[in-house]
A and B are shown apart, each in its own frame.
Chain A
Amino acid sequence: MVHPAEDNLSHTQLSSNVFEDLLESIIVDVASECHRIARLGLERNLEEEEEELRLSALARAGVADSGNSSEANNKYVVDIFGQTHPPVANELFDCMNCGRSVAAGRFAPHLEKW
């Protein structure tokens, strides 16, 4: 038999202990879930950020040695994604007015003719 006085004291402490125990389990679960996501690389945002950092470092290195400031020398300029673009956009598509096949870079002058 437990004495009534002890009862109340131990009840308060006991319920507190039980609560802490439950809380700890839940904390471990959350940490576990996040750990798994982190290690498996399931968080797309983090992946994209890492990729952007990598590319910007790459681009910065590119700018440093090839000197894109002098466009006369360098026909092809490198952008922040490490891509180069020809001075005249050459992707072909059909003009929605006359139906002719037009190069994108020549579309504006083409439209002006009409």
Chain B
Amino acid sequence: MRTSVNRPPTPDGGDEPAKELSFQEIISIKLIESGEKERLMELLRERLIECGWKDDMKAQCRAFVKKKGRKNVTLDDLIHAITPRGRASVPDSVKAELLQRIQTFLVQASG
């Protein structure tokens, strides 16, 4: 077969070993591919609304906006303002529930 284009041969990609994915990376991919990450996200969102966490966060935001002036607030500011409290104020029961589901998934995925 005549080649129509004069081009150098494709470099051999088989020389390098396939990059090994860490366990964490594998799990991350499996979480997304199976749809479990989405389900976990929705579950967490629902629990956080039920327990009033989201309302608390919104109140924090409003207070911050009032202080800084609504035209001066950047998204970055807001995220930094509410993250510490956001992380600390998740109810233990909610965290436990999510962790348990995640652990179950990990066991299934690695078994």
Contacts and interface: CB of A to CB of B under 8 A. Distances in A.
A30 B52 CA distance: 13
Contacts, number: 91
Contact of A34 (B28, B31, B62, B106): B62
Contacts of B75: 31-32, 35
A35 B73 contact: yes
Contacts of B106: 11, 14-15
A30 B57 contact: yes
A2 B65 CA distance: 49
Given A14-B23, A31-B79, A38-B65, A25 B107 contact: no
A66 B71 CA distance: 34
Interface in B52-79: 54, 57-58, 61-62, 65-66, 70-71, 73-75, 78-79
Contacts of A38: 61-62, 65, 70, 73
Contacts of B79: 27-28, 31
Instruction: Report, as a range, how many residues of chain B touch the other chain.
Output: 35 or more
Instruction: Report, as a range, how many residues of chain A touch the other chain.
Output: 20 to 34
Contacts of A30: 54, 57-58, 61, 82, 86
Contacts of A46: 62, 65-66, 70
Please indicate which of the listed interface residues B62, B65, B70 has the most CB atoms of chain A within 10 Å of its own CB: B70
Contact of A25 (B41, B98, B110): B41
Contact of A14 (B24, B54, B61, B74): B24
Interface of B: 23-24, 27-28, 31, 37, 40-41, 44-45, 48, 54, 57-58, 61-62, 65-66, 70-71, 73-75, 78-79, 82-83, 86-87, 90, 95, 98-99, 102-103, 106-107, 110
Interface of A: 2, 7, 10-12, 14-20, 22-28, 30-35, 38-39, 41, 43, 46
Question: Which 10 A-B pairs give the minimum distances between C-beta atoms?
Answer: A34-B61, A15-B102, A31-B78, A38-B65, A38-B70, A27-B86, A31-B79, A35-B75, A30-B57, A15-B103
